A and B are shown apart, each in its own frame.
Chain A
Amino acid sequence: MRRADAIATVLARVRDEIVVSANGWISREACAASDRDANFYMLGSMGLAAPIALGVALAQPQRRVVVLDGDGNLLMTLGTLAMVVEQRPAGFLHVVLDNERYGSTGGQRSLSATVALDELARAAGYAHVRRASGADDLDDAVEELLRADGPAFLLVKVAPEAGGDAPRVPHEPEAIAERVRAALGASAAAGTHDLVRARAVLDAQAAATTPVP
């Protein structure tokens, strides 16, 4: 299975979930397959798709979150598996598209041909761990895990490719963040309002504070 087809298969099952996609080809292919406001496309910061998704899941526990991660990405911040298990967000689906390559930089090998990432997730304590091969199996796994009490981990072995066909994500990073905040009911204006109010509280406290003689 090609990575782009696996991504399209996952996104075809997604309804109102927030999707956080890893930088490089994964975000490009996610955007090409299904560009939606609730997709957070990472442009840089390799390794942080799962941490960002964890933050979303903790901020809004009622909202399901899907991570489209890569093998090189996950290996870069492997400790995140422990954080996910410690926090135990129920609506957290961690999909790893594993091509055993650094596909965005020319297809150099990663460590996942030797190290089984799903076994690491199982050892860390994810509530559900599955490995999918082929489009039907993947579709079945996503359908099941989106209803499961997570955190859930889904390893998808995909074809080794260097590069891809999808165009760059056309949105500016600020717009990507604002779209996702709006999808989560938290506008940029609301964020600014929170901080303006915070400053007023701090200023009032400072004004009311008399130095102790």
Chain B
Amino acid sequence: MTAANATLSFADRLLGAGFDFFTGVPDSTFKALFGEIERRPDDFGYVPAVSENVAVGVATGAYLGGRRPVIVMQNTGLALAINPLASLALIYRIPVLLLIGWRGHDGTDSPEHRVIGTSTLPLLESLKLPYFVPDRGSLDADLARAVAVMASERIPCALVCRPGVVA
């Protein structure tokens, strides 16, 4: 029993928790998750979005229709998604899980990631959008915490994941 649980992938944990509608724009931080999505498209119901902005709209519609949505993106895309998070998901109270890959988190990434890398958490804080920054050991517990926040607040919650955190 414990062995099986210990080997549950992050993708399987999301599905097991009942998330059943995935959209977003690919990010290498979630390469393994996207591998599972492409291998088992029917399980994930993944809708490729043209931008993270549009992904917030699609996920909102899916939630209105009774689905349990997840948006996957890189933090560069968070910048594009700010307006619909502020003027749609937060004010209409849409509890969507945001999986955000955090490029530029330590200042050693390539130049295009420097500014957005250091701005990512302040952006979420200024939106009053709750988030967790898991490490490998806390990923599963932080996922459970994020879901708890979504259940109690009925607003989006983010897991901001540094490269390598999600196997």
Closest chain-B Cβ to A125's Cβ sits at a distance in Å of 15
Question: Given A48-B54, A208-B1, A55–B16 Cβ distance below 8 Å?
Answer: no
Looking at the complex, which of A26-34, A75-83, A102-110 is the stretch in contact with chain B? A75-83
Closest chain-A Cβ to B21's Cβ sits at a distance in Å of 7
Question: Given A48-B88, A59-B21, A83–B64 Cβ distance below 8 Å?
Answer: no
* A5 and B145 alpha carbons, distance in the complex (Å): 49
Instruction: Collect the chain A residues with CB atoms within 8 Å of residue B56's CB.
Output: 45, 48, 51
Interface residue? A1 (CB, 8 A): no
A-B contact count (CB 8 A): 188
Instruction: Collect the chain A residues with CB atoms within 8 Å of residue B94's CB.
Output: 177
A181 near B140 (CB under 8 angstroms)? no
* A58 and B143 alpha carbons, distance in the complex (Å): 25
Interface size class of chain B, counting residues whose CB lies under 8 Å from the partner chain: 35 or more
- Chain A residues with CB under 8 Å of chain B are 18, 20, 40, 42-45, 47-60, 63, 77, 79-80, 82-83, 86-87, 173-174, 176-177, 180-181, 184-186, 188, 190-192, 194-199, 201-203, 205-206, 208-212
Top 7 closest A-B pairs, CB basis?
A55-B61, A59-B65, A44-B87, A51-B57, A79-B50, A186-B66, A48-B57
Interface residue? B95 (CB, 8 A): yes
Closest chain-A Cβ to B58's Cβ sits at a distance in Å of 4
Say what secondary structure dominates the interface of chain B: helix
Closest chain-B Cβ to A199's Cβ sits at a distance in Å of 5
Closest chain-B Cβ to A123's Cβ sits at a distance in Å of 16
B65 near A198 (CB under 8 angstroms)? no
B65 near A205 (CB under 8 angstroms)? no
Residue of B nearest to A43 (CB): B87
A198 near B68 (CB under 8 angstroms)? yes
Residue of A nearest to B68 (CB): A194
14 pairs from A and B in contact (CB 8 Å cutoff)? A42-B88, A44-B87, A47-B54, A54-B47, A55-B23, A55-B67, A82-B50, A173-B92, A177-B92, A190-B66, A195-B148, A198-B19, A202-B16, A210-B2
- B61: contacting residue among A54, A82, A86, A210, CB under 8 A: A54
A186 near B65 (CB under 8 angstroms)? yes
- A45: contacting residue among B21, B84, B93, CB under 8 A: B84
Interface of chain B residues 62 through 108 with chain A (CB within 8 A): 62-69, 83-84, 86-88, 91-95
Residue of B nearest to A174 (CB): B93
A173 near B91 (CB under 8 angstroms)? yes
* A174 and B109 alpha carbons, distance in the complex (Å): 40
* A156 and B151 alpha carbons, distance in the complex (Å): 42
Instruction: Collect the chain B residues with CB atoms within 8 Å of residue A58's CB.
Output: 21, 45, 47, 58, 61-62, 65
Interface residue? B33 (CB, 8 A): no
- A59: contacting residue among B61, B91, B141, B151, CB under 8 A: B61
